[in-house]
Amino acid sequence: MGLFDIFDVAGSAMSAQTVRLNTVASNMANAEVVSGTKEGAYLARQPVFSAVMKAIGGNQASVPVRISGIVESDAAIDRQYNPEHPEADKDGYVFTSNVNMIEEMANMISASRSYQSNVEVANTSKQLLLDTLRLGQ
């Protein structure tokens, strides 16, 4: 029913943005992680959003969001010469993560703004529903 469905939609978007914030936090936390092998290096993660389409005849007006998967970045992994590092390989190299800090910061701001706008949507809808309940009083 109309306004009640907005809570589902805004809620789904809020949880999707939370996942996005979580991946940003993981990426930033692991930005300085190094590994002795190229395969072991930390790869930046990103969620993929997709719209949930309802079956024909259902309520097409409300379109919630879902996370259809988490993808790992295929950006190049840096190799650093650091023979003192305990993880260094036999040639003295360590492999760093491919996290781009600037990208992550921009992602974080975008995610929190989207989260805020969805909170606003849910709040407004709640207020409208409460006003409707008081109709005629």
Partner 1 sequence: MSNTIDRFFGVHAQALQLRAQRGELLGSNLANADTPNYKAQDLDFKAALSDATAQKTTAMAATRQGHIQPQGRMGGAHVLYRTPNQSSLDGNTVDTQVEQNRFSENAVRYRTSLRFLSGKIQGLMTAIRGE
Q: Which region, left, alpha or beta, applies to residue 69 given φ > 0 means left and ψ of -120 to 50 means alpha?
A: left
One character per residue 37-66, x = contact with partner 1 (rule: CB under 8 A)? -----------xxxx----xx-xxxxxxx-
Rounded (10°) CA dihedral 5, 15, 47, 24: 150
Between CA 133 and CA 74 the distance in angstroms is 52
Between CA 45 and CA 21 the distance in angstroms is 11
The stretch among 13-21, 30-38, 84-92, 94-102 that binds partner 1 (CB under 8 A) is: 13-21
Between CA 23 and CA 93 the distance in angstroms is 27
Q: Is 132 in the site for partner 1 (CB under 8 A)?
A: yes
Rounded (10°) CA dihedral 58, 122, 112, 14: -40
**Could you tell me how far CA 21 lies from the centroid of its own chain?**
5
Choose which of 23, 46, 97, 125 interacts with partner 1 (CB under 8 A). Answer: 125
Query: Residues binding partner 1: what is the number (CB under 8 A)?
Result: 41
One character per residue 92-121, x = contact with partner 1 (rule: CB under 8 A)? ------------------xx-xx--xx-xx
* Distance in Å, CB of 9 to partner 1, minimum: 5
Q: Is 36 in the site for partner 1 (CB under 8 A)?
A: no
* Distance in Å, CB of 94 to partner 1, minimum: 34
Q: 97 near 42, Cβ under 8 Å?
A: yes
Please, which residue, 80 or 132, has the CB nearer to partner 1? 132
Binding site for partner 1 (CB under 8 A): 2-3, 5-6, 9-10, 12-13, 16-17, 20, 48-51, 56-57, 59-65, 110-111, 113-114, 117-118, 120-121, 124-125, 127-128, 131-132, 135-137
